[in-house]
Structure 1
Amino acid sequence: MASHSPHPKPKQRSLAGTTARTAALLALTGAASATLLGGTGYAENRPTPAQVKAKVDRYQREAEEATEKYNGAKTTADKAREAYDDLRDEAARRTARLNAARNALGAFATAQYRSGTVAPTLQLALSSSPDQYLRRASLADRAGDRQAATIASIGRQKGKLRTLRGEAADRLHQMRASQAAAARHKKAVQKKLAAADRLLDRLTREQRQRLEARETRPERPAARTTTHHPAPATTRAARAVSFAYTALGQPYVWGATGPHGYDCSGLTQAAWRAAGVSLPRTTYTQINAGHRISRAELAPGDLVFFYSGISHVGLYIGNGRMIHAPHPGAPVRMASITDMPFAGAARPA
Structure 2
Amino acid sequence: MRHQTGVRSAFAVVVAAVVLLGGQSVVPAHAAPTPTPSPSPTSAKMKNAKEQVAQLEDEASQVGEDYDAASQALEESKQRLAVLQADIAAQQTKVDALGEQVRAIALDQFRNREVDTTVQIFTSGDPETLLDRLSTASKVDDDINATLAAHEAEQANLTDMQRTAAAEVSALAAQEQKLAAMKKDLQDKVDAAQALVLQLTNEERAALDAAEGGSTTWSPNELDGVSANARALGAIKYATSKVRGGQYVWGSAGPTGFDCSGLMLAAYRSVGISLPHSSQAQSHVGRPVSRGELKPGDLIFWYHPIHHVGMYIGNGKIVHARNTRADLVIQSLASYPAPWAGARRVVG
Q: TM-score, normalization: structure 1?
A: 0.73
3-state SS of 2:311 partner: strand
Trace 1:90-129 onto structure 2 (pairs within 5 A). 90-117=87-114
Q: Distance in 2 between matches of 1:191 and 1:259?
A: 25
8 Å CA contact 2:213–2:332 kept in 1: the answer is no
Contact 1:47-1:202 within 8 A present in 2 as well: no
**Counterpart in 2 of 1:219?**
216
* Partner residue, 1:293: 289
**What are the ranges of 5 or more consecutive residues in structure 2 without an aligned counterpart?**
1-37, 118-138
1:264 maps to which of 255, 260, 264: 260
Amino acid at match of 1:78: E
Compute the displacement of 1:246 (Å).
1.0
1:279 positional shift: 0.5
- Asked if 1 retains the 8 angstrom alpha-carbon contact of 2:209 and 2:326, the reply is no
Matched, 1:336 2:332: yes
2:318 alignment partner, SS class: strand
| Counterpart residue number, 1:240 | 235
Q: Does 1:304 align with 2:300?
A: yes
> Could you tell me how far apart the structure 2 residues matched to 1:150 and 1:238 are?
61
Other-structure match for 2:227: 231
Which of 48, 69, 72 matches 1:72? Answer: 69
Aligned to 1:196: 193
Matches within 5 A, 1:1-349: 48-117=45-114, 145-204=142-201, 206-207=202-203, 210=206, 219-222=216-219, 224-226=220-222, 230-232=226-228, 234-249=229-244, 250-338=246-334, 339=336, 340-349=338-347
CA distance in 1, matches of 2:96, 2:268: 48
Paired amino acid for 1:254? W
CA contact (8 A) 1:47 1:203 kept: no
Q: Which residue of 2 aligns with 1:28?
A: none
The C-alpha deviation readout for 1:66-91, integer Å capped at 9, x for no partner, is 11111111111121122113212321
In 2, Cα distance between equivalents of 1:153 and 1:185 = 48
Aligned partners of 2:39 and 2:224: how far apart in 1? 54
Matched-pair contact (CA < 8 Å) for 2:249–2:257: yes
Paired residues of 2:214 and 2:331 also in contact (CA < 8 A): no
Structure 2 counterpart of 1:89, one-letter code: A
- Give the Å deviation of 1:317: 0.8
Give the count of matched residue pairs.
286
1:191–1:100 CA distance, 2 compared to 1 (3 A)? same
CA distance in 1, matches of 2:94, 2:266: 43
% identical equivalent positions: 31
> 3-state DSSP class of the match of 1:254?
coil
Select the structure of larger CA radius of gyration: 2
In 2: Cα distance, 1:192 partner to 1:231 partner: 42
Provide structure 1 residue ranges, at least 5 long, that are not aligned to the other structure: 1-37, 121-141
1:119/1:277 CA distance change after superposition, 3 Å: farther
**CA spacing shift, 1:213–1:72, aligned 2, 3 Å:** closer
Amino acid at match of 1:198: A
Deviation at 1:213, TM superposition (A): 7.7
1:260 counterpart letter in structure 2: T
